[in-house]
């Protein structure tokens, strides 16, 4: 039979089930302080471990072009910042000693050329005589040996001349950029004195600094990305070496090289480098569940007896979630709604003022 309830001016009828549902709703009407959307169940997960450090583009090697002789600088065309081709002449050296040496080497090369020409003619004559049966095989062989010696002496003389000319010239040994010009036209320099400083085209690498436990995770061959502060596109890099020495601030130096042959970066360019260092496992919680207090990280673990502060060690973060590497087990329920306020409310409830 339906339950009948009389209300002035209106008559209402309800089934037993609806009546019970209303009773249940009234029973749970007092919603707990931590509703379902304020709690999070920690789950086991792995995340990529990415190590971020400050980095600058620096030269790992420079070429110092030195004077081959004592002399005077002439025809100096190089300026700081110039890009030069391989074997390009950037200046010349002149002076009595250089002029004397060059004259002697040129005269020796000329004599060697003349001797070679005579030896070639003699060999041709001996071959013709041998064909006419007017000479012996040994005479032909002697002419061939003389020609071989003349050719060797000629090659040696021209090599010596070329070496002297190279020493009298200031040449770029490879493609690069002029970093510094240490002399001026008309200046007298001594032998082996630095004239120019050249940065080879492939002479730049990335020098980064990482700190703490992250430094131990960086190994040779690890890949990463360099993001310049200028906002330009990130440049793929690879760890070339991990320097063993630690800086005074505790940072570890890491040298990285570009993967592309022409990365397009410039000496002195700064930015951040993100190094991929494998994966790390733990449990994930939303970022808003983390509480920083006195330089330590905590979460509030929700238990039947209330919320309990738990110290944790955060790991990498991604998409609003942080991986907890220590201090929390899978299945733990943590507070995410107003976690900071709840944490300090819990602390204040257990605080006892000193006597």
* DSSP-assigned beta bridge partners for residue 94: 72
Radius of gyration of the chain, Cα coordinates, nearest whole angstrom: 42
- All domains of the chain, ordered by start, with CATH? 36-47+281-349 (2.40.420.20), 51-60+200-278 (2.40.30.170), 63-199 (2.40.50.100)
What is the reported pLDDT for 1?
A: 42
Quote the CA–CA distance of 301 and 316 in Å, as a whole number.
Answer: 20
pLDDT for the residue numbered 33: 40
Burial of 206 from C-beta contacts in 10 A (0-12 / 13-18 / 19+) = buried
Distance of CA 300 to the CA centre of its chain: 40
pLDDT of residue 210: 87
Among 68, 141, 56, 64, which Cα is nearest to 98's? 68
DSSP string of 244-306, one letter each residue: EEE-TTS-EEEEEEESSS-----TT-EEEEEEEEEEEEEEEEEGGG-EEETTEEEEEEEETTE
Q: Are the CB atoms for 321 and 286 separated by under 8 Å?
A: yes
62: closest CA among 215, 174, 163? 174
User: Can you give the pLDDT at residue 350?
Assistant: 56
CB atoms within 10 A of CB 190: 10
Q: What is the pLDDT of residues 76-119, one digit of tens each?
A: 999 998 989 988 999 999 988 888 989 999 999 999 999 999 99
Straight-line distance from the first to the last Cα atom of the chain, in angstroms, rounded to the nearest whole number: 68
Q: Which pLDDT belongs to residue 239?
A: 93
The SS3 of residue 11 is strand
pLDDT of residue 32: 42
Tokens coding 239: 């760890």
Q: Are 281 and 45 a contacting pair, CB within 8 Å? A: yes
Tokens of 213: 């436990």
Q: Which two tokens stand for residue 130?
A: 């041998």
pLDDT means over runs of 10, the chain (355 residues): 45 43 36 58 87 89 87 91 90 89 93 95 93 90 94 95 88 88 92 90 86 78 92 92 76 89 86 89 91 91 89 87 92 88 69 58
Q: What is the pLDDT of residue 34?
A: 40
Q: Beta-carbon neighbour count of residue 101 at 10 Å? A: 18
């Amino acid at each position: 039979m339906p339950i009948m309830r009389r209300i002035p001016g209106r008559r209402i009828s309800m089934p037993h089930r609806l009546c019970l549902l209303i009773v249940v709703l009234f029973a749970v009407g007092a919603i707990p302080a931590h509703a379902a959307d304020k709690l999070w169940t920690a789950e086991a997960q792995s995340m990529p471990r990415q190590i971020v450090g400050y980095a600058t583009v620096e030269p790992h090697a420079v070429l110092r072009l030195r004077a081959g002789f004592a002399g005077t600088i002439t025809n100096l065309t190089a300026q700081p910042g110039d890009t030069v081709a391989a074997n390009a002449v950037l200046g010349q050296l002149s002076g009595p000693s250089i002029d004397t040496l060059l004259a002697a080497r040129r005269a020796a090369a000329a004599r060697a050329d003349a001797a070679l020409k005579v030896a070639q003619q003699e060999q041709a004559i001996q071959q013709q005589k041998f064909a006419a049966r007017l000479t012996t095989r040994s005479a032909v062989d002697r002419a061939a040996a003389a020609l071989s010696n003349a050719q060797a002496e000629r090659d040696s003389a021209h090599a010596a001349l070329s070496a002297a000319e190279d020493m009298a010239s200031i040449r770029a040994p490879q493609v690069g950029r002029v970093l510094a010009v240490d002399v001026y036209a008309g200046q007298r320099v001594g032998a082996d004195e630095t004239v120019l400083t050249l940065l080879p085209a492939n002479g730049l690498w990335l020098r980064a600094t990482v700190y703490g436990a992250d430094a131990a995770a960086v190994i040779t061959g690890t890949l990463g990305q360099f993001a310049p502060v200028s906002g330009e596109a990130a440049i793929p890099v690879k760890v070339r070496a991990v320097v063993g020495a630690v800086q005074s601030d505790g940072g570890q130096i890491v040298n990285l090289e570009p993967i592309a042959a022409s990365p397009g970066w410039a000496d002195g360019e700064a930015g951040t480098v993100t190094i991929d260092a494998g994966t790390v496992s733990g449990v994930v919680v939303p970022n808003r569940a983390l509480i920083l207090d006195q330089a330590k990280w905590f979460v509030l673990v929700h238990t039947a007896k209330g919320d309990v502060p738990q110290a944790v060690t955060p790991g990498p973060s991604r998409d609003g979630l942080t991986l907890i590497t220590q201090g929390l087990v899978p299945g733990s329920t943590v507070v995410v709604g107003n976690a900071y306020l709840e944490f300090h409310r819990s602390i204040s409830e257990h605080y006892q003022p000193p006597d």
